[in-house]
């Protein structure tokens, strides 16, 4: 089984379409399932189109903090002003059926396969950021499966443990920020524990503007991280046309 793992699409239809194209055509065998780690909406200008595409395709949907706020389950208290403005715009523009669907998306962690769970922030709390080994230590000990896929930080990579060995795993690409699709494979053998972030499809914050995703192969016991270029100018034009904050358009060019 090969699962395409996507997170933090954030209403960026152009990035999602590029990811699906690459995952189907170039990823050495396509994928059998899609696992969505949340934040499908908020920030980007195409929330309905993203949901329409992803909703029937994914077998696992986990809600993210922006999903929760954009469908009205919780307020935007705690969001910075730009995030709050985007959430208000999204709430106004979501079609009623998509809004209802979002409201019903479950909180993580959700069991996805024998060895893997899916979460938004952390397997212990949906809003927790796992940005360092210090953040990763307790979840790695406590999670119920050997592997948890998570998102929320918009930074691709993860943390792993085998007995007393701990490692931070950041995929290293030959041409970071380049205009090509690249991938890096990491083994996830039985007996080791892994927190794995596929990166953000729609708003990367790790300095590489390319859309990020991962494919998990449970037969080969490996995860492949991908970065792929997409039409950033078109995503930015949509944000400007929607009169969303300019910062949301600008940051897509730099991945910051
Ligand atoms: Zn997010």
Distance 187 CA to ligand 1 centre (A): 26
Q: How confident is the model at residue 26 (pLDDT cuts 50, 70, 90)?
A: low
Q: What is the pTM of this model?
A: 0.97
Per-residue pLDDT tens digits for 105-131: 999 999 999 999 999 999 999 999 999
From ligand 1's centre to the CA of 173, what distance in Å?
23
Q: How far apart are CA 37 and CA 84, in angstroms?
A: 21
Ligand 1 centroid distance, CA of 2 (Å): 24
Neighbours of ion ligand 1 (CB under 5 A): 8, 39
As beta bridge partners, residue 224 has 185, 215
Give the Å distance between the CA of 152 and the centre of ligand 1.
5
Q: How far is the CA of 163 from the centre of ligand 1 (A)?
A: 31
Q: Whole domain around residue 247: which residue ranges? A: 2-253
Q: What is the CATH number of the domain that holds 94?
A: 3.60.21.10
What's the CA-to-centroid distance between 252 and ligand 1, angstroms?
13
State in Å: Cα 177 to ligand 1 middle.
20
CA of 213 from ligand 1 middle (Å) equals 14
Question: Within a 10 A sphere around the Cβ of 25, how many other Cβ atoms?
Answer: 10
SS3 percent helix, strand, coil of the chain, rounded to 5, is 30, 20, 50
- Residue 10 Cα to ligand 1 midpoint, Å, equals 7
pLDDT tens for 159-170 read 999 988 999 999
Confidence of residue 25 (pLDDT cuts 50, 70, 90): confident
User: How close is the Cα of 201 to the center of ligand 1, in Å?
Assistant: 10
CA 164 to ligand 1 center in whole angstroms: 32
For residues 114 and 98, what is the distance between their CA atoms, to the nearest angstrom? 30
Domain count for the chain, please give it: 1
Number of Cβ atoms within 10 Å of the Cβ of 147: 24
Question: What would the pLDDT profile of 199-231 be if each residue is shown by its tens digit?
Answer: 999 999 999 999 999 999 999 999 999 999 999
CB 28 within 8 A of CB 45: no
Radius of gyration of the chain (CA): 17
171: number of CA atoms within 13 Å, CB side? 28
């Amino acid at each position: 089984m090969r699962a395409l793992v996507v997170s933090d699409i954030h209403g960026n239809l152009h990035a999602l379409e590029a990811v699906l194209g690459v995952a189907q055509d170039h990823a050495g065998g396509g994928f059998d399932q899609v696992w969505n780690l949340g934040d499908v909406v908020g920030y980007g200008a195409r929330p309905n189109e993203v949901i329409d595409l992803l909703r029937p395709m994914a077998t696992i949907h986990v809600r993210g903090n922006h999903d929760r706020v954009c469908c009205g389950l919780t307020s935007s208290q705690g969001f910075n002003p730009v995030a709050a403005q985007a959430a208000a715009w999204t709430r106004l523009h979501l079609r009623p059926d998509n809004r209802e669907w979002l409201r019903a998306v479950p909180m993580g962690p959700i069991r996805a396969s024998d060895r893997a769970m899916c979460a938004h922030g952390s397997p212990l709390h949906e809003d927790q950021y796992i940005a360092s080994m210090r953040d990763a230590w307790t979840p790695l000990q406590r999670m119920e499966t050997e592997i948890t896929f998570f998102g929320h930080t918009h930074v691709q990579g993860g943390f792993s443990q085998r007995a007393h060995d701990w490692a931070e795993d950041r995929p290293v690409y030959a041409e970071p920020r380049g205009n090509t699709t690249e991938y890096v494979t990491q083994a996830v053998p039985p007996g080791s524990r892994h927190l794995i972030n596929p990166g953000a499809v729609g708003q990367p914050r790790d300095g590489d503007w390319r859309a990020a995703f991962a494919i998990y192969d449970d037969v080969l016991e490996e995860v492949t991280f991908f970065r792929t270029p997409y039409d950033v100018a078109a995503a930015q034009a949509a944000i400007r046309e929607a009169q969303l904050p300019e910062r949301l358009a600008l940051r897509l060019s730099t991945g910051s």
